[in-house]
Amino acid sequence: MSSKLRVLVIDDSAYNREIICEFLGGHPDFTVVAKAEDGEQGLKLAAQLKPDLITLDIEMPRMDGFTFLRLLMSQMPTPVIVISSHSRKHEIFQALELGALDFVAKPERYLRPELASLKEEIIRKANAVRALQVVPFARRPARLPPMPDLAPPHKVTGKMPLQRLVVIGTSTGGPPALQSVFKAMPPGTPTAFLVAQHMPEKFTQAFAERLNRIAAVEVHEAVDGERVLAGSAYIAPGGSHMEVVFGREGLCIRLVRNVEIDRYVPSVDKLFQSVAQVRGYEVLAAVLTGMGADGALGLAPMKAAGCRIIAESEESAIVFGMPKEAILTQKVDEILPLERIIERMHAFSGSGFAIPLP
């Protein structure tokens, strides 16, 4: 990969194409090699130019973003960032299931403050592609197929006393990893699951609903003050940090709105640090794929509290940044590929008695 990332921009809106090209073309780390107005033209240009990164709209004529992704990932896997509107949340998650690396939500109106924020997010997420040099894109783990509209699995929530916590922190590449995790977790478990996934506001509820469709545990966006129950999973809301504290009824969720100086939202560090303060539960923590270092600061108090800590290995992490930083703290007990982490979580949470981990 050259010093400048070569980008192909695909969008049926001429205005959107120009805006994205202006953002990336005016930055020293990127060069826009071509523009396309639909997936069919984009696929031909991708084959000819072999860009380092593709930005992609979903709704386009002739060939939409979903068809484009299916063909691209089967023929020439390339990092893709979906750029689409807030109103198309479920379509964005389908694109992630089909292999897109990440997404950026377009603002409803292109006003100056919104454009500045959009530019910053596009550049930050585009730069995540540099981390893929460590883990080649072709080695990304297999994804689940797009989820059909099925009745949710039978769920048993709060029927057993809460004994254990599984705490997960992740960022880029997290949505497909979390789908694999929750598809494998057993029903009727004495375990609650707490998840901090870097994701913008307005998207975490739709993501939690999507996970809930395939999970045997009850998955929902966390609500401030609610009790943490066995057999439930709590997704930290975008725009807030999730913590756990003891309340009158037991372990409860506390949500804290982010402030401008917060680098990561929702924060894995803040979740981990709060879990380290509670006693009386066995805890298994996992740092999964993601760019940056969120989670590393929270490992020392967790380790001191006797929590078991796993980091995703370079072998399966889409972006090895967060797991690598966790490993460098020397607080990690095991470094495992995602498949093995899921096995550990299943063994840890799957019955009413403790299962020792190696």
> What residues are annotated to the active site?
171, 198, 294
Q: Are 234 and 158 in contact (CB under 8 A)?
A: no
- Considering only CA atoms, which of 97, 101, 34 is closest in space to residue 70? 97
For the chain, state the CA radius of gyration.
20
Gap between the Cα atoms of 151 and 149, Å rounded: 7
**Pairing mode, if any, of strands 232-235 and 308-312?**
unpaired
Which CA distances in Å does 339 have to 53, 216, 342? Answer: 27, 18, 5
**3-class SS of residue 33:** strand
The separation between the first and the last C-alpha atoms of the chain, rounded to the nearest angstrom, is 39
Q: Name the residue type at position 198.
A: H
Gap between the Cα atoms of 64 and 42, Å rounded: 10
Which CA distances in Å does 279 have to 105, 244, 250, 302? Answer: 39, 11, 11, 11
